[in-house]
């Protein structure tokens, strides 16, 4: 318990520290005293506008995106019992990207809710396809290959949309496709937060299933849990979380696959009552740190520096233990 409390305290302080650092540092430095004044009583001054129009939405985007992608990745790895599952690997992020591409390139977007809805539907459709594959193939390696192929297929469809798009809409989509925490607006924070809350609800309600899923479906049924319904609830929630992060921040890689493993290493438990909030804090912290780098450095390039070594470590550890993915 002391270790778990220490890990939670460290992660919380890290999120708080880098949130404040993001607010006060940048091309225009904001003294801490002015930060408090602007937060308590916003006005029309330059400092207040910088905080409320640029930096507070940036912090909110990093925290919410890191949280949603980390929880989504943890749930997918638990449901499919594969350490390399994640919204990016399984093609769920590609499905969300396709939905956003339709919204931006085909001109059917209706603001934040339109983009969010398109991303969530795209992610959910891919998730249902993955469920169909999972019911036919018992080997998780086949599932990973199917997810990668599905992602490539969806990317090809996006390329066709790009080829027929007009210049202005194409420019908007290309800018979105790089991934960034600086695109969220102040009024969009509440939409993003609501989507994350909606996605977390079915996941939290399926906590008993998540804690027993690694023992197999027969064991879960022995506990009186309806496997099909619980799995569907978790996957729908994971799709909404991944879709929301993709809609507001673009395709963000490696958080969903790397953070659950970092949480396992920190907390050393399979109890999802600990892992879910732990992964949420760890994902938020990683996203905030990645967002501190200059704008000209691609976000996914920064996240790759953390994500690739973690994935290699999982592969090496699995090989040493004689496991097949």
Task: Compute the distance between CA of residue 77 and CA of residue 36 in angstroms, rounded to an integer.
Answer: 41
Task: Compute the distance between CA of residue 320 and CA of residue 57 in angstroms, rounded to an integer.
Answer: 44
Q: pTM for the whole thing?
A: 0.88
Q: Return the pLDDT at 113.
A: 67
Domain residues of the chain, as ranges?
A: 2-320
205: CB partners within 8 A, 6+ apart: 233
Task: Compute the distance between CA of residue 266 and CA of residue 144 in angstroms, rounded to an integer.
Answer: 26
- For residues 142 and 133, the answer to whether their CB atoms sit within 8 Å is yes
Q: Check if CATH label 3.40.47.10 holds for domain 2-320.
A: no
Look at residue 323 and tell me whether its pLDDT is greater than 60.
no
Residue pLDDT, tens place only, 132-155: 776 676 565 677 777 788 888 888
* 267-298 burial: b if 16+ Cβ within 10 Å, else e: beeeebebbbbbbbbbbbbbbbbbbeeeeeee
Q: Return the pLDDT at 324.
A: 47
Model confidence at 259, in pLDDT bands (50, 70, 90)? very high
176: CB partners within 8 A, 6+ apart: 100, 104, 183, 250
């Amino acid at each position: 318990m002391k270790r778990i409390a220490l890990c939670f305290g460290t992660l919380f302080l890290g999120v708080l520290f880098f949130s404040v650092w993001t607010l006060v540092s940048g091309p225009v430095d904001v003294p801490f005293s002015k930060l408090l004044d602007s937060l308590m009583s916003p006005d029309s001054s330059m400092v207040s506008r910088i905080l409320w129009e640029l930096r507070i939405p940036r912090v909110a985007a990093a925290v919410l995106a890191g949280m949603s992608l980390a929880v989504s990745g943890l749930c997918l790895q638990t449901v499919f019992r594969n350490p390399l599952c994640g919204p990016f690997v399984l093609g769920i992020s590609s499905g969300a990207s396709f939905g956003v591409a339709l919204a931006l390139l085909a001109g059917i977007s209706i603001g934040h809710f339109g983009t969010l809805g398109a991303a969530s539907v795209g992610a959910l459709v891919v998730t249902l396809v993955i469920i169909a594959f999972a019911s036919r193939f018992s080997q998780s390696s086949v599932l990973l290959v199917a997810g990668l192929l599905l992602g490539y297929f969806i990317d090809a469809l996006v390329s066709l949309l790009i080829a027929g798009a007009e210049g202005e809409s194409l420019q908007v989509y290309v800018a979105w496709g790089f991934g960034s925490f600086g695109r969220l607006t102040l009024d969009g924070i509440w939409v993003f937060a609501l989507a994350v809350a909606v996605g977390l609800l079915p996941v939290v309600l399926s906590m008993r299933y998540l804690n027993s899923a690694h023992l197999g479906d027969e064991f879960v049924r022995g506990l009186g849990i309806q496997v099909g319904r619980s799995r569907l609830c978790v996957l729908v929630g994971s799709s909404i979380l991944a879709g929301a992060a993709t809609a507001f921040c673009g395709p963000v890689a490696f958080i969903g696959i790397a953070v659950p493993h970092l949480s396992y290493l920190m907390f050393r438990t399979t109890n999802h009552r600990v892992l879910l909030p732990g992964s949420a804090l760890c994902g938020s912290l990683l996203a905030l740190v990645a967002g501190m780098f200059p704008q000209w450095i691609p976000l996914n390039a920064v996240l790759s520096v953390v994500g690739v070594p973690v994935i290699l470590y999982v592969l090496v550890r699995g090989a040493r233990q004689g496991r097949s993915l």
